[in-house]
Amino acid sequence: MDLTVLGLLCSLLLYRILHMNQNGTGWVVAFLCESCFTFVWLFYTNITWSPAAHIPYPDRLDERVHDLPSVDLFVTTAYPVREPPVLVVNTVLSLLAVNYPANKLACYVSDDGCSPLTYFSLKEVSKFAKIWVPFCKKYNVKVRAPFRYFLNPVTATEDPEFAIEWEMTKREYEKLRQRVEDATEDSDWLNADNDFEAFSNTKPNDHSTIVKVKVIWENKGGVGDEKEVPHLVYISREKRPNYVHHYKAGAMNFMVRVSGLMTNAPYMLNLDCDMYANEAKVVRQAMCIFLQESVVPNNCAFVQFPQAFYDSNANGFNIFQSYTEQGDAGIQGPIYEGSGCFHTRRVMYGLSPSDLEDDGSLSSATTRRFLTQESLTREFGNSKEMVKSVAGALQRTSNPQNELTNSIVAAKEVGNFHYECQTSWGKTVGWLYGSIAEDKNTSIGIHSRGWTSSCISLNPPAFLGCMPLVGVEGFLQSRRWMTGGLEVLLNKQSPLIGIFHQKLRFRQRLVYLSSCMGSLASIPVILYCLLPAYCILHNSPLFPKVTLS
C-alpha cells in the first residue's frame, strides 16, 4: 500500500518535471508544494513501519524482585491561576497513593509561581493523604485522584463497611477542596501562620529559594505498610528579575538536585501538575521495563506513557499521540513528551551506554574520568553534598539522606540562581536548555548518546490530563510547541547535524525532523490553497488539460 502511494506521488512529481517548460509559475509552485507533501508523507510513513509497545506484567515483577528500587516523583507547577491548586492537589494525591511501597517513594512539588496558596494546599494534602492513601490501598481503588474517583456514586450492592468509609472519605475530600477554595478567595490565613513567613514580600519572579520539608515530610523511614504515606516536599527555586530561568527545564534540574540530596532515587517520574495518575500500578509497570532480565544490557533510558487527556475534545490528539509513540517505539524509542515519563537518574547525569559494563557498573575508564572530585565539581556545581550524592548515584551506592536539617541547607544552596553558572547543568547534565520545548531537546540529547526508550501504551491510559485545545490558551500552547520545535532544529543538537552519526539512528532522526518541522509544513499548505485562485486569475494551468474526443 505504502509503495503504491509512493509510486503515485513520484509519478505526479515526474509528470510535473517533464512538463515544466510548457507551463508557468503556478505549475512550478505546485511542484514545490507537492514535493514538500511527499517528504511529509515519507516522514510520517516512516513512523508507521514498525510499531511496538511493551506490555508490562507487574504481578510477575513482584515474584521476581523483592526489593523494589526507590522512585522520586516530580510535579511542576508555575501558574496558580491557570493551574488551579485543586488540580495540583489531585495530581499529588494520585501519586502519593500509587500501588508501590510508600517508603520507596518521595514526591517533590516545584512551584515556579512561589505561591503560598500552593504550599497551603500541599499542607492540606499531607493531612488528607493519611485518610486517602490507606483507603485506596485497602479497597484497591483504581483511579486515585479523588476528583475523578468521587464522580461515581457507591452502588447499593457494595459492602456496607466500604460504603461508610467511602462516605467519610468523600466528606473529608470535600472539606479539603472547600478549604483550598476558601483560601483562594480570602488570604487571612497567610498572616495567621508563621509557616508562611518565607512567602512574605515575594514576587513570582523575585524571591529566594524556599524548601519546605519539615511540616510535610511524612514518611520517617517506615517499612512501606499500607498506612504509610510517601514523603512530600515543596520547593521553589530562587528567581531574580532580568535573569534567565529556563522555564520548566530549570525547575526540573533544581528538583533533580534537591531530590539527589534527600532521597537520591535511581528513577524519577516527571508529571505536569494538571495530569493525574489514572492507573495505580503505573510505577510497577515502568519498573517492569527497567528491571527486565535479559542477556543484552538494558539500554532503556526512559519509559514514556503516551499523553492522554480527559477533556472530551482531545480525542483526535489522544489517538495521534498513541499512534506516533508506538511507531517511534519500534525504531529507537518514543520521544520524551515532558509528562508521564520515568527517567533513570544516571542517564540524566550524562552517562552514555559505553560508560557502563554489561552488569551496569561504571567502566574503569569512566570512573577515572568522571568520578574525581574536581570533575564532579566542574560538572555538577560547587556543593560538597551534591558531589557526594552524584557519586553515589553514578555508582549505585546512594543512601537516602536521613539528616534532614543538613539536606535543607544544602538544598537551598543548590537552588541559588547562580548555582548552575559554569557547570554542565542544562548543557550535558539534566534537562537541557536552549528550547522552550525542553522535552524534545532533552530527548534528542539522550537518544544521540545511543540510549533507547520504551513506550507503554495502555487502555485506559496510565496518566490523564487536561489541555486547552481552543481559544487563546490553545493558540499560545501550539505556538510554544511550534517555536520550541524550531529552536531544537536550529540548536547544536539539531537532527539536521551529523546525519551519519550512528548513535541517533537514521529513521529516529526522521522522527525528530517531522516532530520539529511540523510548523514549517503549514507554508506549502497555505500556498497550495491559494494556488487555484492564482491560476484562474493568471490563466495559468495547474492540472493537465483533459480533451474529450
Ligand X SMILES: O=c1ccn([C@@H]2O[C@H](COP(=O)(O)OP(=O)(O)O[C@H]3O[C@H](CO)[C@@H](O)[C@H](O)[C@H]3O)[C@@H](O)[C@H]2O)c(=O)[nH]1
DSSP 468-515: --SHHHHHHHHHHHHHHHHHHHHSTT-TTS-TT-TTS-HHHHHHHHHH
Specify whether 111 is catalytic: no
Q: Can residue 253 be called a binding residue for ligand X (CB under 6 A)?
A: no
The set of cell numbers assigned to 15 is 509528470
**Considering only 208-216, 352-360, 432-440, 497-505, which stretch makes contact with ligand X by CB under 6 A?**
432-440
Q: Is 545 exposed, middle or buried (0-12, 13-18, 19+ CB in 10 A)?
A: exposed
Whether residue 281 contacts residue 137, with contact meaning beta carbons closer than 8 Å, is answered with no
Whether 259 contacts 398, CB under 8 Å: no
| Total Cβ atoms within 10 A of residue 140 | 8
369 or 480: whose CB is closer to ligand X? 480
Among 83, 238, 328, 355, binds ligand X (CB under 6 A): 83
Binding mask 260-289 for ligand X (x = CB under 6 A): ------------xx----------------
- Name residues contacting ligand X, limited to 463-492 (CB under 6 A): 477, 480-481, 484
Beta carbon nearer to ligand X, 112 or 124: 112
Query: The C-alpha cell of 371 is what?
Result: 568520578
In the complex, least distance from residue 441 CB atom to ligand X, rounded to whole angstroms: 9
The C-alpha atoms of residue 156 and residue 163 are separated, in whole angstroms, by 9
Does the protein bind ligand X through residue 228 (CB under 6 A)? no
Strand bridging mode 341-344 / 300-304: antiparallel
Considering only residues 41-80, where is the footprint of ligand X by CB under 6 A?
76-78
SS3 343: strand
Q: Which of 112, 238, 325, 328 binds ligand X (CB under 6 A)?
A: 112
Q: Does 90 bind ligand X (CB under 6 A)?
A: no
| Least CB distance to ligand X at residue 542 (A) | 38
How does strand 267-272 pair with strand 341-344?
antiparallel
Q: How far is the CB of 465 from ligand X (least distance, A)?
A: 7
**What are 375-378's contacts with CB under 8 Å, separation 24+?**
378/422, 378/423, 378/424
Tell me the binding residues for UDP-alpha-D-glucose: 83, 112
Angle at alpha carbon of residue 428, lines to 288 and 391, rounded to 5°: 65
State the nearest-atom distance from the C-beta of 266 to ligand X, in Å.
22
CB of 437 to ligand X, least distance (A): 4
Please confirm, yes or no, whether 112 is among the known catalytic residues: yes
Question: How near is the Cβ of 390 to ligand X at its closest, in Å?
Answer: 23
> 193 vs 118, 198, 228, 407, CA distance in Å?
15, 11, 27, 24
Q: CB-wise, 274 or 379, nearer to ligand X? A: 274
Size of the site for ligand X (CB under 6 A): 20
DSSP state of 361: P
- The active-site residue, picked from 72, 112, 274, 328, is 112
What are the contacts of 183-186 at 24+ separation with CB within 8 A? Answer: 183/117, 183/120, 183/121, 184/84, 184/85, 184/117
* Residue 263 vs 339, nearer CB to ligand X: 339
Q: Which residue is nearest to ligand X (CB)?
A: 338
From 80, 101, 327, 338, residue interacting with ligand X (rule: CB under 6 A) = 338
Among 238, 379, 439, 487, binds ligand X (CB under 6 A): 439
Please provide residue 496's backbone torsions phi and psi, each rounded to the nearest 5 degrees: -80, -20
CB 3 within 8 A of CB 17: no
Residues in the annotated binding site for Mn(2+): 248, 272
What is the smallest separation between the CB atom of 77 and ligand X, expressed in angstroms? 5
Q: Is 339 in the site for ligand X (CB under 6 A)?
A: yes
Decide if residue 251 touches ligand X (CB under 6 A): yes
Q: What are phi and psi of 86, to 5 degrees?
A: -65, -30
Active-site amino acid positions: 112, 439
- The site for ligand X (CB under 6 A) is made up of 76-78, 83, 110, 112, 247-248, 251, 272-273, 338-339, 437-439, 477, 480-481, 484
